[in-house]
Structure 1
Amino acid sequence: MCRCKLITSIDKTYDSSCHQNSFVFDSIYTLIGLVLFLGFGVVFVSTVRADTLNFRGIAVSACTLSLPTDGTLSLSSNLQNWTTTTPATITAINTAPATLTVTKPTSWTASPANVPATTFSMTANLTGANVLNLTGTSGAASGTLSLLGSSVVSVYLTAQGTDTFKSGSYTVQATVTCAVN
């Protein structure tokens, strides 16, 4: 019977009397070591891969107008003046400094026949990101939206006739524009 002293480290001591059988033992221990190495190697080798996803966007320089609401007018007791009962509103949203312009009307959009000559005046107030008061008696009134964001524009209109207004439905339009500077 042959006794071999086998050590599982790199250093191995062989007994000269059992050199022939040491090959078998070496092969078995090498195989066991390889299986253990591969088994643990698979456990410790990560197959998980991480990657990043980027999100990009562009905020373009813009000024948009949205959510328009019609206003209402009421006729005075002398039947010659119209004043705003409820202001017309629109929301201006600007992502860059912009100029907001409100142009007053010059004539009725719809009315009964033979309407007296009418002079229109208007004012506009902005609340929200920008707080401005615009007044226009001739032509248009403008203001700079220097702060970015959403501003509600409230437009008030008056109409003064040279004579009394007849019964019927009257409509007039003010124009609001917004342009990036």
Structure 2
Amino acid sequence: MPNPTRRDILGYACLCAGLAAFPALAAPQDWQFGSIDGGTLSFSEWAGKPILVVNTASRCGFTKQYDGLQALYDKYRERGLVVLAVPSQDFKQELASDEDVAEFCEVNFNLTLPMTTITHVRGAKAHPFYEWLAETQNFTPSWNFNKVLIGPDGGVEGLWGSVTRPQSKAITAAIEPLLPRS
């Protein structure tokens, strides 16, 4: 650019600063959680797929939503949907250990969907995924069974509270356009 003005330089600097923020928006593809079954669950494994992330608890009035989460996973798994359960003790309603949570979910709900280890979803110890949601979407789980739909491109496609059931029209209407036709 010949003889840039101060305004041109400031505009370019602002543009570069704005572009520097984009990696944070694409970061969901790289986040990792400990798997309740051992090992790691990585968003990069599910790149290009929609992911419904739900913070859960075993002793909550909404715990019966596990049935709906599993049914949703069963219905759309072959078309690419991932349903990720994130047990959390942040609301003081989770069991004492990952092993207890895994056994509870297997015995009571026969869950086959991916599940993380017990994870903080709010506050100073929140997992980076939840920190990102708070920063970019102004969304912090207010209770157990809040739902976040991440699109195939890594962007947020929907946010729902505890009272919205996993198989609700609001959630399925957001998921279906993100899946290939069967």
Q: TM-score range by the shorter chain?
A: under 0.3
The structure in which a higher percent of residues are strand is 1
Q: TM-score, normalised by structure 1?
A: 0.19
Greater relative contact order, per chain length (Cα 8 Å cut-off, separation 6+)? 2
Higher Rg of the two aligned structures: 1
TM-score by length of structure 2 reads 0.19
Structure with the higher helix share, 1 or 2: 2
